[in-house]
């Protein structure tokens, strides 16, 4: 609890700070310093290699885009796995986890990115939409192993977040409850996504990567 004072310097109230480690006199700083930074992202490195180091291969939009999408997909699934560890650690039968919805969102977004990577590799020149089921259908790879099971899985993922609102906001644009399905098994969501990645990598990405 942090004390609040009136104009006479007397305590008039207390406030329970959301983040107590941040002091009242914290000084806001510029995020975009353009200077040396400690933490590196693959996307940042790729942009540097293309625009400043001017690596010839990355001047090709397809090569650049495939590399970026591939690593972004891994960024999100790895984030989902990390959040999943926190979910498991919270399982005492009484704790409402902070991490389930962000974990599911990261998982779904990783699927979207992986499917778009497949589309670019296959020769698509434009990426459209966020529906994982629509992206899967547009990919049109009915001969991959477990096609029916993967389709059923993506249909379920679509039910969890059909209009891109459930995992972002939890309410509709009109601030009403959503109709999406919130009862899902996060363990299976993670495992199914990992399996989907394996199939897409072996039977789509490796198949088309050097064709177009």
Question: Mean pLDDT throughout 141-168?
Answer: 94
Model confidence pLDDT, tens digit, residues 115-133: 999 999 999 988 889 999 9
Residue 212 pLDDT > 60:
no
Q: What is the pLDDT of residue 41?
A: 84
| Domain span including residue 69 | 2-208
Find the helix packing angle between 100-122 and 132-139, rounded to 10°. 20
Tokens 């993967």, located at residue: 150
Residue 70 pLDDT > 70:
yes
Is 159 within 8 Å of 180 (Cβ atoms)? Answer: yes
Higher pLDDT, 128 or 209: 128
Is 130 within 8 Å of 164 (Cβ atoms)? Answer: yes
Q: What is the pLDDT of residue 48?
A: 83
Q: What is the pLDDT of residue 210?
A: 66
Q: What is the CATH number of the domain that holds 40?
A: 1.20.120.330
Residue 188 pLDDT > 90:
yes
Neighbouring C-beta atoms of residue 154, cutoff 10 Å: 22
Q: What is the pLDDT of residue 36?
A: 64
Is 83 within 8 Å of 102 (Cβ atoms)? Answer: yes
The total domain count for the chain is 1
Range name among 50-64, 86-100, 117-131 with the lowest pLDDT average: 50-64
Across the chain, mean pLDDT equals: 91
Question: Binning pLDDT at 50, 70 and 90, where does residue 60 land?
Answer: confident
DSSP the chain: -EEEE-TTS-EEEEE--SSTTS-TTPPP--S---S--S---HHHHHHHHHHTS--GGGGSHHHHHHHHHHHHHHHHHHHHHHHHHHHHHT-SSSPPPSSHHHHHHHHHHHHHHHHHHHHHHHT-S----S-HHHHHHHH--TTSTTHHHHHHHHHHHHHHSTTS-TTTTSB-TTS-B--S-----HHHHHHHHHHHHHHHIIIIIHHHTTT-
Question: Binning pLDDT at 50, 70 and 90, where does residue 20 land?
Answer: very high
Question: Binning pLDDT at 50, 70 and 90, where does residue 37 land?
Answer: low
Q: What is the pTM of this model?
A: 0.88
């Amino acid at each position: 609890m942090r004390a609040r004072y009136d104009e006479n310097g007397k305590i008039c109230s207390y406030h329970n700070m959301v983040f107590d480690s941040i002091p009242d006199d914290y000084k806001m700083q510029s995020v975009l310093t353009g200077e040396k930074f400690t933490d590196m992202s693959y996307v940042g490195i790729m942009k540097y290699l293309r625009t400043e180091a001017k690596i010839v291969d990355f001047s090709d939009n397809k090569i650049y885009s495939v590399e970026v999408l591939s690593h972004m997909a891994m960024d999100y699934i790895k984030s989902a796995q990390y959040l999943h560890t926190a979910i498991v650690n919270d399982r005492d039968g009484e704790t409402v986890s902070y991490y389930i919805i962000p974990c599911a969102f990261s998982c779904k977004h990783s699927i979207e990115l992986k499917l778009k990577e497949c589309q670019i590799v296959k020769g698509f020149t434009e990426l459209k939409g966020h529906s994982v089921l629509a992206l899967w259908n547009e990919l049109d790879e009915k001969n991959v192993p477990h096609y029916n099971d993967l389709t059923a899985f993506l249909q379920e993922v679509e039910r969890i977040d059909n209009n891109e609102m459930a995992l972002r906001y939890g309410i509709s644009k009109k601030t009403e409850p959503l109709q999406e399905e919130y009862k899902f098994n996060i363990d299976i969501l993670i495992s199914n996504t990992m399996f989907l990645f394996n199939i897409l990598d072996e039977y789509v990405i490796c198949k088309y990567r050097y064709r177009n």
